[in-house]
Structure 1
Amino acid sequence: MIYSLQAIVRGTRLVLEPGLRRFVIGPIVVNLLLYGGTIYYLIGNFGGWLDYGMRQVPSWLDWLEWLIWPLLVVVLVLMVFFTFTLVSNLIAAPFYGFLAEKVETRLTGRPPSDERGWIKTGVDAVGRELVKLGYLLPRMALLFLLGFVPGLNLITPFLWAAFSAWMMAIQYLDYPMDNNQVAFTDMRRRLRARWWPTLTYGGCMSLATWVPLLNLVLLPGGVAGGVMLWDRYYRSLPVAAR
């Protein structure tokens, strides 16, 4: 976990250096706009969502309302967080893909194995982001439904927390792997093979997204940190058999 934190801090400093700062401006603008829109939408709708969720609780569980209400709040907040993260990263993917490429070249002295240029890197990054969405959205939907199952809804906040770490690891460690021609299924295999750095890094990135304003630079810093973890833990793993 210590190295994960160090990678994020070091990566944040790195992306603010001359030559890399220009790749951070786009994601910062995107996140500022999304933050404003998300806060506005939450203010207008959160109370209605909460009331609807409480109406779904069966009467025989009324005595647990004191526990169910805060758990429902947590689940709704996590859902908004996941949705915001997915949309933000989809829009910022071209910037992040190219940023990861430049960071790897600067750190290792060699470009990724698939150096593609600005346009192709951007297009491929968006395509890869859609693949991630196809993997993550059904699992998010399942967790959402579990939140309305009596009994199981008591543990869904913990399941969301674990899923958050896994999702953020996929999100930010995939940029250097995509740049190095690691297929999405092989990427997940590598993450499972190094499960401890994977989950600690994903957990750190989950926490980083909750830091107001500072997260505007922590997220691009996480991309650079992901390159460091890729080079340290995942690059040397064998390619999956086809």
Structure 2
Amino acid sequence: MLDAVTALTRGTRLAYSPGLRRYVFAPIVVNLLVYIVVLRVVLANFGGWLEGWMALVPEWLAWLEWLIWPLFVISLVIIVFFTFTLVTHLIAAPFYGFLAARVEVAATGRPPLDDRGFMKTAVDALGRELVKLAYIAPRALLLLVVSWIPGLNLLAPLLWALFSAWVMAIAYLDYPMDNNKVSFADMRRRLRARWWQSLTFGGCVTLVTWIPLANLFLLPGAVSAAVLMWNQHYRELAVSAPR
């Protein structure tokens, strides 16, 4: 049985194998540019964000400042990397979708059901990213509100970690599913049906995104890993709704 760590290991090797590695350079360049911009913004504003957040702590919770401060820092770091990942996916989606299609051919010997050229894949992938964003954004906003509620925000790091794992599962496993004509709604149903595989895979990918600089080269491997996970765990699930 293919697990998340094995899938990521095999997927990374596959992404950089001869015949496929030429498809990973464009998303790496995109990720690098976004990484530089996000890093500059964070370094310029991190201190101010943290001071503003701590100023909201009521006096009756002042005695817990030793615990609240590191939790705020952890939450802020998670939010920053979460935002970074969403932005990079939105920009690099056309390349990731095409990479997933080429990996599926190499890994399984059969093309995806919707084997499109690069331009068609690029347009469709961008549209699909907007659908994902419409699903993720309101939930992330709600979680952000929770993160600012005194007392309740003590749970924020755990909630962000679980949410990030779910979002990463959606973000990456959707590439092969979209290529195989699985609707966004049915994709989520399949992920819920294999919730353990989905969350462990998403959690591993989340950890990969937190590795500075190395994540630029590992994320294409996550796309390849998603194809392997799709083929092993999700392909044969019954389609519960039409596209």
Shorter chain as normaliser: what TM range? over 0.9
1:67 aligns to 2:67 (yes or no): yes
Equivalent residue for 1:180? Answer: 180
2:168/2:203 contact within 8 Å kept:
yes
Q: 1:195-233 CA distances to partner (integer Å, 9 max, x unpaired)?
A: 111111001101111122221221100000000010000
In 2, Cα distance between equivalents of 1:227 and 1:219 = 13
Gaps of 5+ in 2: none
SS of residue paired to 2:161 = helix
Instruction: Provide the rounded CA distance (Å) in 2 between the counterparts of 1:75 and 1:61.
Output: 18
Shift in Å at residue 122 of structure 1? 0.5
- Distance in 1 (CA, whole Å) between partners of 2:118 and 2:145 is 40
Q: Scaled by the length of structure 1, what TM-score is found?
A: 0.97
Superposition RMSD in Å: 1.2
Q: CA deviation at 1:241?
A: 3.3
Q: Is the 8 A contact 2:2 2:229 kept in 1?
A: no
| Structure-2 separation of matches of 1:31 and 1:17 | 20
Deviation at 1:151, TM superposition (A): 1.4
Partner letter of residue 14 of structure 1? L
Task: Deviation per CA, 1:126-180: give whole Å up to 9, x if none.
Answer: 0000100001111111111101112110011000010011010001100000000
Q: What is the CA deviation profile of residues 37-87 of structure 1, one whole-angstrom value per residue up to 9, with x for unaligned ones?
A: 111111110001011111111111111111111111111111111110000
Contact kept in structure 1, 2:186 and 2:241, CA below 8 Å: no
Question: 2:130 — aligned with what?
Answer: 130
- Structure 2 match to 1:226: 226
Q: CA deviation at 1:116?
A: 1.5
Whether 1:89 aligns to 2:89 is yes
Aligned residue pair count: 242
Question: In the aligned structure 2, how far is the partner of 1:156 from the partner of 1:181?
Answer: 35
Matched, 1:147 2:174: no
Shift of 1:36: 1.2
Q: CA deviation at 1:20?
A: 1.0
**Matched residues in 1 for 2:213 and 2:42: separation?**
18
Distance (Å, rounded) in 2 between the aligned partners of 1:241 and 1:122: 25
Pairs within 5 Å for 1:1-242: 3-242=3-242
Match of 2:108, as an amino acid? T
Where do 4+ consecutive residues of structure 1 move more than 6 Å?
Answer: none
User: What fraction of aligned residue pairs are identical, expressed as a percent?
Assistant: 63
CA distance in 2: counterparts of 1:93 and 1:2, whole angstroms: 25
2:214 counterpart letter in structure 1: L
